[in-house]
Amino acid sequence: MRSADIKRKTKETTVSVSLNLDGTGTAQIKTDDQFLTHMLETFSRYASFDLQVDASGDNFHHLIEDVAISLGEAFKAALGETPIERVASFMMPMDDALVTASVDIVDRAWCDADCPDELYLHFFRSFAMSAGLTLHIIIHRGFDEHHLIEASFKALGKALKNATVVRSDVLSTKNKVILEK
């Protein structure tokens, strides 16, 4: 089973994340921020990842950042060395919002995301950097910030679900990179 448990404790936050990539989308989320809780539940459901998060912090910036870092670390650890599809995109409509998320799980971290809220832009960047993946989120249209952010989490979940499908061989012209010391 591709799963991982991460605990992160700093002067500013306490975060515990349990992630199962081969789940059914069950979420048990407890944070100090109702909207963050809602976004993590949404991500879990659309990715079909089982996710447990227990997080508290001294302010919303630190909370959102450390949850994203912990989730990214759990995602990277859960993947292990199993060959996966690696690359996927998903376009998500949600009311006025139309958003595409594209991922490449390649251990070359990069994030370029359209996001109307700086804190959630920071979430996406922190997640991508910690997970070691390339992430692009493009807003095609929309005006309601809640819908734009939620559609981004849904699209990211669906893209990651598709990118983490197990395959028989490594999808790369390099095959496998081996670092020598």
Question: The domain spanning residue 8 has which CATH number?
Answer: 3.30.230.40
What is the total count of domains within the chain? 1
Quickly count: other Cβ atoms within 10 Å of residue 142's Cβ: 19
Tokens found for residue 58? 């001294």
For the segment 51-84, what is each residue's pLDDT rounded down to a tens digit?
999 999 999 999 999 999 999 999 999 999 889 9
Full residue range of the structural domain in which residue 19 is found: 3-163
Sort 169 into a burial class: Cβ within 10 Å, 0-12 / 13-18 / 19+: exposed
pLDDT at position 179 is: 47
Q: Is residue 7 part of a domain?
A: yes
Distances in Å between the alpha carbon of 47 and those of 21, 40, 142? Answer: 8, 10, 23
Report which DSSP code applies to 79. Answer: H
Q: Is residue 78 part of a domain?
A: yes
Q: Is residue 175 part of a domain?
A: no
What is the rounded distance in angstroms from the CA atom of residue 30 to the CA atom of residue 48?
A: 19
The answer to whether the Cα torsion of 102, 106, 107, 108 is positive or negative is negative
Q: Is residue 102 part of a domain?
A: yes
For the segment 76-128, what is each residue's pLDDT rounded down to a tens digit?
999 998 899 999 999 999 999 999 999 999 988 999 999 999 999 999 999 99
Q: Is residue 176 part of a domain?
A: no
What's the pTM? 0.93
pLDDT at position 11 is: 96
* Rg value, the chain, Cα: 16
What is the rounded distance in angstroms from the CA atom of residue 137 to the CA atom of residue 10?
A: 29
